[in-house]
Structure 1
Amino acid sequence: MGGNGKRRWKISFYSRSKPTQTQHQQQQPPKEFICPISGSLMFDPVVVSSGQTFERLSVQVCHDLGFIPTLQDNSLPDFTNVIPNLAIKTTIQNWCDSSGTQHPPAPDYSSLEEIIREKMKFSSPSASSLSKSMQLSPDIRVSERELLKAVAENPPVLFSHANTELPHRVNHFYSSSSEESVIVNTAATPSASPLTPLPLATRPACYSSTSSSSNSIAESETLTVTENPKLSREEDEIVEKLKSLDVRDQEQGLISLRKITRTKEETRVSLCTPRLLSALRTLFPSRYFSVQTNAIASLVNLSLEKVNKVKIVRSGFIPLLIDVLKGGFDEAQEHAAGALFSLALEDENKMAIGVLGALQPLMHMLRAESERARHDSSLALYHLSLIQSNRVKLVKLGAVSMLLSMVKSGDLASRLLLVLCNLAACNEGRSAMLDANAVAILVGILREGGGGDSEVIRENCVAALFALSHGSMRFKGLAKEARAVEVLREIEERGSNRAREKAKRILMMMRGRDEEDEDICWEEVLESGGISRTRYRAGGRNLPGPNSTNF
């Protein structure tokens, strides 16, 4: 540019060598881009109730043929509902562009029908019979005719007795054992942001392993695979009671299941079978308090084991848990929030839980009267917001303004700041937080000392400011306007090790000369997604730019 040369723009023109067709052919798409049914790159991916992603037309053809395929892990998907998986669709398109691969064409119905009919020849009788009970209408919804047929084949449950009394309820308890928490870091959690390495509980607040006369059994009565070879018979008895038409039997079966899955890992793994999960699912919608509450509490116990988490999601429990959050009994809602938190710990479940609609009900539960429900909902949102697709959804749901308001009032501040740190890691979240005056709010909390649990809150506030400072051309001006320098200098001198390091790096960025700020290779920055693409009016008001999400 002309003038004194103070503004220096680095613009480079270069051409990239295009890979040869042979290289294109050798590059194989990631496994998650391939439809498990058709074996082809997905054109219109959808997530089904059990959490897997398929080509939409593959699900439609399976419906038309009355077929439920057995997947590679021997599980059967639940095609009851489908939701467009826009995140995977965008990722597939981006991969095609970057690899020079042609975008997948719309699939052909007759070709898919031929593939699925071939699979039907080798399907088991049990899968075929299950398929008949899971028929879908052309718009992937259960039609009235099919509902009437299902009612005729499966008469409604007639409860001849309603014993709604529960054993004495154990007091709420939060474990402080070092075994109950984990330091989250990038090595242990690849998808976690390095900005938020803080200790988090690994078990829901609604779970208690302590013994009491009401909700635990003696060690000698606990059944395990090695100690009691009759575990399968115990499973038979529990499943029989869960399927009983008498609510009294249902309660007894659930209380037994809840007891024997409370303390023993081996029992939780052995009892988490498709047969038991299927029987347990039918009791979630129960309008009997004791049945619904004990059913969900039992699921929480089963979900504690890592090997069970994906199996539970693929068994179709997420929509049921969401329904309980929206309209279940208060204690059942506590356990539902705890179950979603426990299941969200598994990376493979995070996208499915978000796509199936759990984010908004969990946000609503942040204002519940129950402390346990608020605790588990906040941690569920933290783990779900570790992936990009859920961050964008939360921003669109208005989570930023809600979370900042709660943090400002001190409600769940230390935990919700972690969610804000994750949201600040994406362009949409960072832009929304800057628009919502997050810099001034966070600096104000630091200036006031952080309130209760002050040191943790101060650390999390600095971590959120540190996340906001990355790739933002607006942060520097907003931080100066909020007089953040004096607060950050104090933290740099007297704060904890984590807070001091981040405060130091923020101050270094703010002390940078204007020339250094403007000496930017814009092409590289834009390609790396380092700038929040926001446009400005002359008066300083910002207008949101186009969506620049990178999935």
Structure 2
Amino acid sequence: MEFQEAVTRLRIPRTLRKGAVERHHMQTEKHKWNILFHRSSSSKQKTKPSEIPVEFLCPVSGTLMKDPVIVSSGHTFERACVQACNTLGFIPTLMDGTVPDFSTVIPNLALKSTILKWCTDYSLDPPNDKTTLNFFSAEKLVHAKILETQQQKPKHPKKNEDQDAGTGIDHLVTDLITHDTWSSDDSPLQLKSTPSSCYSSPSSSSADIRAFNLNPKDEEFVRKLKSPLVFEIEEGLISLRNTTRAREDDTRLQLCTSRLLSVLKPLIISRYTNIQVNSVACLVNLSLEKINKIKIVRSGILPLLIDVLKGGFPEAREHACGAIFSLALDDRNKIAIGVLGALSPLLHLLRSDESHRTRHDSGLALYHLSLVQSNITKLVKLGSVPILLDIVKSGRVGRWVLLILCNLALCPEGRDAMRDSGGVDFFVGLLKRRELKYESAQEICVSVLYGLSHGGLRFKGLARAAGAVEVLMQVENTGNDRTKKMVKRIIKILTETRMEEVLEDSGSTRCDSVVKKMGLAQIHKF
């Protein structure tokens, strides 16, 4: 018994020792797995990259994108940069030479998640508000890009006027400006791209744009214009109006900020005469810069300007016509101005007893707006053709109205309205009476008749009844090369005989028989 007890006592420690060995082995294996897992996990933690992938960077700002968006052309940009480019009317040229299209914007969620995962893998902070551009900083950056582009553009020598004589009807516009009536302090040649109600003459396309810096006066103007005191607002507007007359610096570029435009909005429709007049005059001066034109329209000021056209103070209406004319020089604004309803009040002011400057700038605005097909259709529906013909007959702003009629004659609706209003007889009569003082006005009349000549048999009947062939032959002997070419084409249309006229001359019996046969054929088909 004592021997067995001794053996049992000896066995227990062995069992204990065996369990201890097993536990030790398990701990060792677990430690090995921990080491392996640690090594594998540490191998996943990549070292920080030397540079950011190009596809993660915005082509405009060159920074890691926080909110990437895809534009219509398929390129990806930071959203703030796209908004700044649209606001300032800037389209960058990318490294591969392509030009993006910013008309539509779609969030690029796939790229956004890829950028976040890349930052997580490399233990980097994801892009946030502090590291990425907001709208205002992006606007400054785009301004700098614009300045850089302007400085890189070579200065082209002035073209010879004879080289541009045969392109479009722009030469007619220049010629009419040269022969128009102006005050002693107005420069005629400047008004091809500048409204007569503005106070600074050079166009933005020829002005040198300098480095963009925030103007400290912006804060001062905003503070005065937001004052509850009327006299402080008037003082601020007069100061702003004088400041934006600057011709040699980029003051207008610096002051045309979203904040200042938002402050000007309620002042444009103010019941105080001086506030309304000066605020609209300031807007005219700001709109002289090409970059500012699209920005002003997108700020939402245009409907308020149209309200001034309809019921503002006389001097404010005069400036509003100049502002809309200036904004209409940018092709991207033409459709928006027509859609928002500026055509009807402009047409009314053109025929009204307002000042010469008001009628003049409204005519120029309508001319530039009528270069767009959608606005031509709207003008025809507004009954503009007989109104414009009456204005030409009265001799008030007639030369600019001739250009508008020339644009209207380019579309079928305008041609029909002009023929219905006696336009063929009217223009033939102008050429016959030789009441046109300038050769350019004669060319416009011939251009209108050439547009109307696409009307087929009806134009032939009206033109022959008005004696157009004889009149055009006389014009052919005295007109310039462009006029002679159009006259020859019109005479050819009037003198050639077509099958339709043969059918008309042969009597209605034959036509009726043809119609009856066609009708029977249609019946048999059904």
Aligned equivalents of 1:509 and 1:435: distance in 2?
A: 20
> Secondary structure of 1:253's match?
helix
1:232-271 alpha-carbon deviations (Å, 9 max, x no partner):
2111111111111112121121112111211335111121
Partner of 1:92: none
1:512 positional shift: 2.0
**Residues 1:439 and 2:428 are matched in the alignment:** no
Structure 1 residues 518 and 286: CA distance shift in structure 2, 3 A? farther
Q: Which consecutive residues of structure 1, in runs of 5 or more, have no partner in the other structure?
A: 1-36, 41-68, 78-111, 128-178, 211-223, 520-536, 539-551
Aligned equivalents of 1:184 and 1:326: distance in 2?
A: 42
1:415-443 alpha-carbon deviations (Å, 9 max, x no partner):
10111111111111111111111000111
Partner of 2:519: none
TM-score scaled by structure 1?
0.56
* Alignment equivalent of 1:248, drawn from 208, 220, 231: 231
Aligned equivalents of 1:507 and 1:270: distance in 2?
A: 56
Aligned equivalents of 2:246 and 2:500: distance in 1?
A: 59
Alignment of 1:214-229 (within 5 A): none
Structure 1 residues 344 and 186: CA distance shift in structure 2, 3 A? farther
> Secondary structure of 1:304's match?
coil
**Residues 1:479 and 2:463 are matched in the alignment:** yes
Partner of 1:405: 390
Structure number with the bigger relative contact order (C-alpha 8 A, sep ≥ 6) is 1
Partner of 1:511: 495
Kindly indicate whether the alpha-carbon contact (under 8 Å) linking 2:335 and 2:375 is maintained by their aligned counterparts in 1. yes
1:302 positional shift: 0.9
**Matched residue type, 2:233:** Q
* Alignment equivalent of 1:490, drawn from 452, 474, 493: 474
Alignment of 1:63-74 (within 5 A): 72-74=82-84
Give RMSD over aligned pairs. 3.9
**Matched residue type, 2:286:** L
Partner of 2:183: none
Aligned equivalents of 1:403 and 1:183: distance in 2?
A: 31
Kindly indicate whether the alpha-carbon contact (under 8 Å) linking 1:413 and 1:457 is maintained by their aligned counterparts in 2. no
Partner of 1:341: 325
* Alignment equivalent of 1:377, drawn from 353, 356, 362: 362
**Residues 1:350 and 2:318 are matched in the alignment:** no
Aligned equivalents of 2:81 and 2:318: distance in 1?
A: 33
Alignment of 1:414-425 (within 5 A): 414-425=399-410
| Deviating 4+ runs (over 4 angstroms) | 37-40, 182-188, 192-200, 515-519
1:472 positional shift: 3.6
Kindly indicate whether the alpha-carbon contact (under 8 Å) linking 2:244 and 2:252 is maintained by their aligned counterparts in 1. yes
> Secondary structure of 2:457's match?
coil
1:499-523 alpha-carbon deviations (Å, 9 max, x no partner):
333222211222223259899xxxx
1:511-547 alpha-carbon deviations (Å, 9 max, x no partner):
223259899xxxxxxxxxxxxxxxxx99xxxxxxxxx
TM-score scaled by structure 2?
0.59
Kindly indicate whether the alpha-carbon contact (under 8 Å) linking 1:261 and 1:302 is maintained by their aligned counterparts in 2. yes
* Alignment equivalent of 2:198, drawn from 204, 207, 210: 207
Aligned equivalents of 2:163 and 2:217: distance in 1?
A: 38
Kindly indicate whether the alpha-carbon contact (under 8 Å) linking 1:450 and 1:457 is maintained by their aligned counterparts in 2. no
1:70-122 alpha-carbon deviations (Å, 9 max, x no partner):
79324899xxxxxxxxxxxxxxxxxxxxxxxxxxxxxxxxxx9xx9xx9xxx9
Aligned equivalents of 2:473 and 2:325: distance in 1?
A: 37
**Matched residue type, 2:355:** S
Kindly indicate whether the alpha-carbon contact (under 8 Å) linking 2:164 and 2:171 is maintained by their aligned counterparts in 1. no
Aligned equivalents of 1:246 and 1:476: distance in 2?
A: 67
1:143-187 alpha-carbon deviations (Å, 9 max, x no partner):
xxxxxxxxxxxxxxxxxxxxxxxxxxxxxxxxxxxx9xx999899
Aligned equivalents of 1:443 and 1:421: distance in 2?
A: 14
Structure 1 residues 501 and 208: CA distance shift in structure 2, 3 A? farther
Aligned equivalents of 1:455 and 1:262: distance in 2?
A: 36
Kindly indicate whether the alpha-carbon contact (under 8 Å) linking 2:287 and 2:327 is maintained by their aligned counterparts in 1. yes
* Alignment equivalent of 2:378, drawn from 373, 385, 393: 393
**Matched residue type, 1:245:** P
Aligned equivalents of 2:85 and 2:263: distance in 1?
A: 16
Kindly indicate whether the alpha-carbon contact (under 8 Å) linking 2:241 and 2:278 is maintained by their aligned counterparts in 1. yes
> Secondary structure of 2:267's match?
coil
Kindly indicate whether the alpha-carbon contact (under 8 Å) linking 2:431 and 2:471 is maintained by their aligned counterparts in 1. yes
Does 244-253 or 325-334 show the bigger shift?
244-253
Aligned equivalents of 2:326 and 2:164: distance in 1?
A: 18
Structure 1 residues 186 and 468: CA distance shift in structure 2, 3 A? farther
Q: Which has the higher helix share?
A: 2
1:316 positional shift: 0.8
Instruction: Among all aligned residue pairs of Structure 1 and Structure 2, give the percentage whose two residues are the same amino acid.
Output: 49
Larger Rg over CA atoms: 2
Alignment of 1:126-525 (within 5 A): 199=175, 201-209=192-200, 232-264=215-247, 266-368=250-352, 369-451=354-436, 453-515=437-499
Kindly indicate whether the alpha-carbon contact (under 8 Å) linking 2:166 and 2:482 is maintained by their aligned counterparts in 1. no
**Matched residue type, 2:223:** E
Q: Across the two proteins, how many residue pairs are aligned to each other?
A: 350
Structure 1 residues 343 and 457: CA distance shift in structure 2, 3 A? same
Kindly indicate whether the alpha-carbon contact (under 8 Å) linking 2:172 and 2:440 is maintained by their aligned counterparts in 1. no
Kindly indicate whether the alpha-carbon contact (under 8 Å) linking 1:488 and 1:507 is maintained by their aligned counterparts in 2. yes
